[in-house]
Structure formats: structure tokens, C-alpha cells
């Protein structure tokens, strides 16, 4: 008997239903497995194309397409690889949140290297506390701007699960912040922070468009507003530190 990866069941949440990466329509299954290593990719009933060709792709190909901001790669990542109710999803999300906060804290410390005082244990603890608090406040307000913008545009009626989907998509699509770790090895000018921020902004726009299926103009406006608020908060935190 062939087996399928993810059958669609009436009682399953819509977020756990796989999608066609081409048109975004829900599909019953992504592939049928006849034996280990022997699978047949299923086609989308709507667009008649293979629902998810990324299943047979290497990770590096998927990563390159994500960096190129291909909508199909984002649908594969957000809908077909990760699920709100799966253990794998929860593990990835927890790791992503921790990395997200850590990288923002590192960004703040990178911008404030000249003013931070780590000469004593107490001063180092105080500086780390301020940096971590600043990163938490910055991200809280950033997400608040995203959710308020979505509520205004999409009228989600305070749907907690939809908010969670959006927040997860924003956090996971901010993977480009990992490039900040290269500043630990090589010396870069401060402008590299702004370059990374631009790439993160564009990635967030694509992820928001995919997960909400709304107009690109609305996604651009919401993300630009939230990132603009983040920049203002960054300047405010720089003065405090």
C-alpha cells in the first residue's frame, strides 16, 4: 500500500494542511511513498502543476531560493515543512525565538561597543541586562506594530492562532540576521547592520504576503512601518545605553 506524507482530514487545523507552492491552494497530500526512496510527487488540483517540487531538492537549493525571495520556497518552508501543532515546529520556533533575541541583543552591543563598560563583573552584568531588555522591548514593539497593522488591514478579529502564524512567519523569515555572526570573525563597518536590516525587511515582506495571502502593497506598508518604528527604537536605545 502506498503511504502519503500528510493526508488532509476534516478535523485538522487549516494551518496543518499542506499547500501547493505554485498557487498556494491546499492540497490533500504532497507525495505518495511506495517504498523507502520510491515516491511520486502529487499534482495540485487547481494549477495542475507538481504541488511541491522542493521535496526532492537539497537544502542548499531551498536556502538559495529563500535568499532570492522566491514565493514558492517560502510556501514550502512555512506551510509544508513547519506546522503549528507539530513537535518539530515547536522546536524550530523556540530555537528561532532565542536566536532572534540573541542576534538583536548582539546587534545592540555591536552598535554600542565604544560606550559599553565590561571592566568589572557588576558593570558587565548591568550592561548585559540593559542590552537584553532593549532587545526584548524592541521586538515586542516591532511585533505589536505588525499585528496592529494586520488588524487594521485584514480585520483578523483578534484571531490568536492567525496572530501566532504571522509572528512565527516573521521570526523564521528573519534568518538573514544570522549574517551578523560573521562580524564576530571579520571586521565590518557599521553599515553592514543596515544592509542586513534591508534584507530582513524584504524577507519579512515575502513571508507576510505568503502567510496572509494579501496584497503585496499592504505587506510592504505594514513591514516598512514596523521596521521604521524599530529604527526609531534603536536610536532611542542607543541614547539610553
Divide the 241 residues of the chain into consecutive groups of 10 and give the mean pLDDT of each group. 40 63 89 82 91 90 93 90 62 81 84 65 78 86 88 71 84 89 80 88 94 88 89 72 59
Q: According to the model, what pLDDT value does residue 16 have?
A: 63
Task: Assess whether 117 and 18 both reside in one domain.
Answer: no
Q: According to the model, what pLDDT value does residue 118 have?
A: 62
Which of these, 206, 208, 96, 198, lies nearest to 149 by C-alpha position?
A: 208
Q: Pull the grid cell for residue 168.
A: 512565527
Q: According to the model, what pLDDT value does residue 9 have?
A: 36
Task: Assess whether 96 and 168 both reside in one domain.
Answer: yes
Task: Assess whether 12 and 105 both reside in one domain.
Answer: no
Task: Assess whether 180 and 233 both reside in one domain.
Answer: yes
* Final residue in a domain of this structure, among 40, 63, 81: 81
Q: How many domains does the chain have?
A: 2
Which of these, 145, 135, 163, 133, lies nearest to 229 by C-alpha position?
A: 145
Q: According to the model, what pLDDT value does residue 149 have?
A: 86
Say what the pTM is.
0.81
Task: Assess whether 43 and 74 both reside in one domain.
Answer: yes
Q: According to the model, what pLDDT value does residue 86 have?
A: 59
Q: According to the model, what pLDDT value does residue 50 have?
A: 93
Task: Assess whether 144 and 225 both reside in one domain.
Answer: yes
d(CA 88, CA 82) in angstroms, rounded, equals: 7
Task: Assess whether 16 and 107 both reside in one domain.
Answer: no
Q: Which domain holds residue 235?
A: 87-240
Amino acid at each position: 500500500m502506498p503511504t502519503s506524507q500528510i493526508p488532509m482530514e476534516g478535523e485538522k487545523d487549516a494551518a496543518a494542511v499542506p499547500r501547493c507552492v505554485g498557487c498556494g491552494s491546499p492540497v490533500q497530500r504532497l507525495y505518495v511513498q511506495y517504498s523507502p526512496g520510491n515516491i511520486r510527487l502529487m499534482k495540485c488540483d487547481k494549477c495542475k502543476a507538481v504541488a511541491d517540487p522542493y521535496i526532492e531538492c537539497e537544502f542548499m537549493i531551498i536556502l538559495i531560493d529563500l535568499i532570492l525571495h522566491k514565493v514558492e520556497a517560502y510556501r514550502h518552508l512555512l506551510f509544508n515543512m513547519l506546522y503549528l501543532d507539530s513537535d518539530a515546529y515547536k522546536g524550530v520556533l523556540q530555537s528561532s525565538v532565542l536566536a532572534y533575541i540573541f542576534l538583536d541583543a548582539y546587534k545592540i552591543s555591536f552598535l554600542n561597543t565604544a560606550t559599553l563598560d565590561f571592566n568589572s563583573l557588576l558593570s558587565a552584568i548591568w550592561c548585559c541586562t540593559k542590552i537584553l531588555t532593549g532587545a526584548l522591548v524592541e521586538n515586542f514593539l516591532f511585533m505589536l506594530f505588525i499585528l496592529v497593522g494586520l488588524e487594521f488591514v485584514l480585520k483578523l478579529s483578534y484571531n490568536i492562532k492567525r496572530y501566532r502564524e504571522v509572528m512565527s512567519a516573521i521570526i523564521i523569515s528573519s534568518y538573514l540576521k544570522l549574517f551578523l555572526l560573521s562580524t564576530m570573525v571579520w571586521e565590518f563597518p557599521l553599515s553592514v547592520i543596515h544592509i542586513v536590516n534591508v534584507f530582513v525587511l524584504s524577507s519579512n515582506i515575502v513571508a507576510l504576503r505568503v502567510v496572509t495571502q494579501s496584497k503585496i502593497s499592504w505587506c510592504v506598508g505594514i513591514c516598512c512601518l514596523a521596521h521604521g518604528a524599530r529604527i526609531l527604537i534603536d536610536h532611542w536605545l542607543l541614547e539610553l545605553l
